[in-house]
Amino acid sequence: MSRLDSFIRRLSAQRDVLNHISEEVRGKDGVILEIGLGNGRTFDHLRSLFPGHRIVAFDRAIGSHSSSTPPAENLVIGEIRETAQPYVGANAALVHADIGTGYDDKDAITLTWLPQLAAGALATGGIAASGLPLEHPDLEALPLPATVDAGRYFLYRKR
């Protein structure tokens, strides 16, 4: 598969997963955490799906399009591993994380802290959607939509 095809499949999976959980998340109280703002496309999709929720986005630096950049009070810049720690215990309705690099060695480092962060930030019953697997005893894997291949994206509920 070409890198372009892989990119398209990843973005389609991301969209399909977020759309799949949207009704359930809309019915939950709590902040939504966007781990990895990037260019802001997913943030823009999240705010269209969840207009009644506060969405806090994290990234190392601002790289988003101006139309898809959160207001300053909902944007946290710096090393996510550190800057997101104050949100542990936030009782988030949704944690969405798309910060995988495609390099196994770099992603292995991210996986030393990301599952704990997601599990710690979620409310009981909250949902985590991620491009990386979030193996954690407090997170129960959920089925993916039929349009998403196993291993392409990951979906969890906090126990």
| Nearest C-alpha neighbor of 150 from the set 35, 52, 17, 30 | 17
pLDDT of residue 16 exceeding 90? yes
For residue 78, the model assigns a pLDDT of: 98
pLDDT digits (tens, 9 = 90+) for 105-114: 999 999 999 9
For the chain, the first-to-last Cα distance in angstroms comes to 36
pLDDT of residue 1 exceeding 90? no
- Average of pLDDT values for 20-34? 98
For residue 124, the model assigns a pLDDT of: 98
For residue 73, the model assigns a pLDDT of: 98
Burial class of 23 by CB neighbour count within 10 A (0 to 12, 13 to 18, 19+): exposed
What the chain holds in terms of domains, given with CATH numbers, is 3-158 (3.40.50.150)
pLDDT digits (tens, 9 = 90+) for 41-58: 999 999 999 999 999 999
